[in-house]
Amino acid sequence: MSQHKITINDVADAAGVSVTTVSLVLSGKGRISAATVLRVNQAIEQLGFVRNRSASTLRGGESGVIGLIVRDLSHPFYAEMTAGLSEALEKQGKLLFLTQSGTQGQHLNRCFDSLVSQGVDGVVLGGGTDQAAEIITRVREQNIAMVCAARASSVDDVDTIRPDNAQAARLATEYLIRQGHQRIGWLGGNSASLTRAERIGGYCATLLQYGLPFRPEWIVECGNTQKEAADAAIQLLKQHPRLTAILAYNASTAMGCYFGLLRTGRDIGRGAVDSYYGQQMALMGFGDEPQAELTDPPLTFVTSSARDIGRAAAARILYRMANPTAERQDLIIPPQLIVRGSA
């Protein structure tokens, strides 16, 4: 019969402490009382737990491992950001350890515990910054470097790298206005999204700047799937057929909106703007993805390179590890307009 392998969870249970506490005892990091250290070490000896190489390395220096927490790696922004982050870290001989906290960030603390148990030198928090306060406190207690790399961020206490969502929306809205559009709708996102709030703020401010009407009924929430976006686009145009352009919240919403517009019989493109019940519709989105060039016409986007954000996050986490008392930095990546045929 094979013998059960003793894990760090077994040690934590035997010592009556958290997995994080055991990891800190193994690594020699954090502020742990002498009594707790003794209890953990006794549990280790009694159970015959084998201290892993990364923990031993930590006692003498760095592990070379950086942790990443994202809500959902399938999201195009975070998939690209992770690629840029990993690429930059590998060039510096570092290893990226990836975790997912769930679409609502419900597993954020568990992800952090897992990263600490792996002996990470630093943590990059990608998204879910509205729930970051507790994690930031724990990071400081355990002397771990941390940066936030997100689509939007309300965090004031750590380094952040993020796109300029408001400026991206201003750029997109102004582009459409200069193409002759005066009735521009908004599709996608949910009201709890900080990214959406920043983008809608830029959209509304630009309409007002040009003396154009801002109509709350032209702003529609929808889910993130292409089908939900397609259905929402059809309903929006059924209720407001005089709209001549739509701004879509992200790449997935833009793709769904594209198919919804086709189902309404609209032609998509940047041709002449019909002032009354026109069939010509302009469509723009935020972000970008390879499929955008496969539609007919290809989709126009305003984007801040997620891969560049990942690279910048890598540079900052390495700097923060080497300079833990350095002044906090908020790095904003400017947007770029990618003009194709849809607007």
Q: Is residue 147 part of a domain?
A: yes
Secondary structure (3-state) at 67: strand
Judge if 232 and 318 occupy the same domain: no
Judge if 180 and 266 occupy the same domain: yes
* Cβ neighbours of residue 209 closer than 8 Å, sequence gap 6 or more: none
Judge if 181 and 220 occupy the same domain: yes
Q: State how far the Cα of 212 lies from the Cα of 181, in Å rounded to an integer.
A: 10
Q: What is the CATH number of the domain that holds 7?
A: 1.10.260.40
Q: State how far the Cα of 277 lies from the Cα of 113, in Å rounded to an integer.
A: 56
DSSP labels for 96-138?
A: EEEEE--TT-TTHHHHHHHHHHTT-SEEEEES-GGG-HHHHHH
Q: State how far the Cα of 60 lies from the Cα of 43, in Å rounded to an integer.
A: 22
**What tokens appear for 76 in the block?**
């195009």
Better-predicted residue by pLDDT, 53 or 215: 215
The 8-class DSSP code of residue 302 comes to E
Predicted confidence (pLDDT) at residue 310 exceeds the cutoff of 50? yes
- Cβ(219)–Cβ(277) below 8 Å: no
Phi and psi at residue 51, to the nearest 5°? -70, 125
Judge if 138 and 184 occupy the same domain: no
**What tokens appear for 112 in the block?**
């952090």
Tell me the pLDDT band of 77, cut-offs 50, 70 and 90: confident
- Which range of residues forms the domain containing residue 32? 1-61
Judge if 49 and 141 occupy the same domain: no
Predicted confidence (pLDDT) at residue 55 exceeds the cutoff of 80? no
Predicted confidence (pLDDT) at residue 25 exceeds the cutoff of 70? yes
Plot region of 340 (φ>0 → left; ψ -120 to 50 → alpha; else → beta): beta
Residue length of the chain: 343
pLDDT, one tens digit per residue, over 222-261 is 998 999 999 999 999 999 999 999 999 998 899 999 999 9
Q: Show the DSSP H helices in the chain as ranges.
A: 8-15, 19-27, 34-47, 53-60, 76-91, 108-117, 133-141, 165-178, 194-209, 226-239, 251-263, 306-322
Judge if 298 and 170 occupy the same domain: yes
The 8-class DSSP code of residue 328 comes to P
Q: State how far the Cα of 249 lies from the Cα of 145, in Å rounded to an integer.
A: 32
Q: How many CB atoms lie within 10 A of CB 100?
A: 17
Q: What is the CATH number of the domain that holds 200?
A: 3.40.50.2300
Predicted confidence (pLDDT) at residue 272 exceeds the cutoff of 70? no
Lowest mean pLDDT among 83-87, 165-169, 213-217: 213-217
Looking at the DSSP bridge assignments, the partners of residue 95 are 65
Type of residue numbered 124: V
Entry pTM:
0.74
Judge if 329 and 242 occupy the same domain: no
Tell me the pLDDT band of 56, cut-offs 50, 70 and 90: very low
* Residue 323: per-residue pLDDT: 92
Judge if 95 and 152 occupy the same domain: yes
* Cβ neighbours of residue 269 closer than 8 Å, sequence gap 6 or more: 280, 281, 282, 297, 341, 342, 343
pLDDT, one tens digit per residue, over 108-155 is 888 888 888 788 889 999 876 666 777 888 888 778 899 999 877 767
Judge if 137 and 57 occupy the same domain: no
* Residue 52: per-residue pLDDT: 55
* Residue 30: per-residue pLDDT: 65
Judge if 118 and 39 occupy the same domain: no
Rounded to the nearest 10°, the torsion over CA 334, 150, 299, 198 is: -70
* Residue 337: per-residue pLDDT: 95
Domain count, the chain: 3
DSSP labels for 167-194?
A: HHHHHHHHHHHHTT---EEEE-B-TT-H
Lowest mean pLDDT among 24-33, 113-122, 269-278: 269-278
Tell me the pLDDT band of 48, cut-offs 50, 70 and 90: confident
Type of residue numbered 71: R
Judge if 77 and 122 occupy the same domain: yes
